[in-house]
Amino acid sequence: MGSNAQRRREEREKKIAQMRRDDTTRSRRSNVLLTVGLVAAVVVAVGGVFWAVQAGTEDPTPGALDEVETFSYDAGQHTSDPVAYAETPPVGGEHEPTWEECGFYDDQIDQEKAVHSMEHGAVWITYDPALDSADVDTLKGRLSENYTLLSPYPDLGAPVVASAWNTQLTLDGVDDPRLDDFVTEYRQGPQTPEPGASC
């Protein structure tokens, strides 16, 4: 009888030992899975942050700005007299001592003041006054008023023209995808003589 009790005790001890080993194995497996999950989450988060930073600093679509015209005007030339600009609309040169406040305008604005705003880093989007209101609303929906001017311009010769200091791009219409690339590249861009000045 004693041997039966001893056998049962040994079997119970073996079962307990096996249960402890199983618990240890499960615990290790859980720890490994938890660690792998945490590492994967960190990698995904870091990758997401990296992608977001890269997306915000990407260059415009390749080739989108190939047709941008560039000019060479010196900054800081103020005059209160009307200026006969060579380009339509102007992209630089003499301008009013005060600038045009950035925003969307339904009427033509003072070009000498708009040139001053471009000197401060604004992009001036001009459109043919014959555009219908839905097209103008499309432009407004695509733009931010931050360092941006939007106004009609008589005798424009194109549906839409995007201008910044010493740069200009004639666009095919209000849906032309190059508008976004132009604004991204030239609003407060490297060509800006006085970046960060008021607009």
23 and 109 co-located in one domain: no
79 and 41 co-located in one domain: no
51 and 99 co-located in one domain: no
148 and 180 co-located in one domain: yes
Residue 5's CB is within 10 A of a number of other CB atoms, namely 9
Q: Bigger pLDDT: 21 or 192?
A: 192
Residue-wise pLDDT tens digits, 79-115: 999 999 999 999 999 999 999 999 999 999 999 999 9
Report residue 92 as tokens. 């630089």
The verdict on residue 143 lying in a domain is yes
Residues 6+ apart with CB under 8 A from 199: 99, 100, 101, 102, 117, 120, 121, 122, 147
Residue-wise pLDDT tens digits, 41-66: 666 776 666 665 555 445 556 677 88
Tell whether the model's pLDDT for residue 161 goes beyond 90.
Answer: yes
Give the model's pLDDT for residue 13.
74
CATH of the domain at 98: 3.40.30
Give the model's pLDDT for residue 8.
79
The verdict on residue 99 lying in a domain is yes
Give the model's pLDDT for residue 57.
47
Residue-wise pLDDT tens digits, 118-147: 999 999 999 999 999 999 999 999 999 999
24 and 49 co-located in one domain: yes
47 and 80 co-located in one domain: no
- Average pLDDT value over all residues in the chain: 86
Question: How many domains would you assign to the chain?
Answer: 2
Give the model's pLDDT for residue 179.
96
In terms of residue numbers, what domain contains 105? 69-186
Q: Bigger pLDDT: 19 or 111?
A: 111
Per-residue 3-state assignment (H helix, E strand, C coil) for the chain: CHHHHHHHHHHHHHHHHHHHHHHHHHHHHHHHHHHHHHHHHHHHHHHHHHHHHHHHHCCCCCCCCCCCEECCCCCCCECCCCCCCCCCCCCCCCECCCCCCCEECCCCCCHHHHHHHHHCCCEEEEECCCCCHHHHHHHHHHCCCCCEEEEECCCCCCCEEEEECCEEEEECCCCCCHHHHHHHHHCCCCCCCCCCCCC
Tell whether the model's pLDDT for residue 17 goes beyond 90.
Answer: no
Give the model's pLDDT for residue 54.
55
Give the model's pLDDT for residue 52.
57
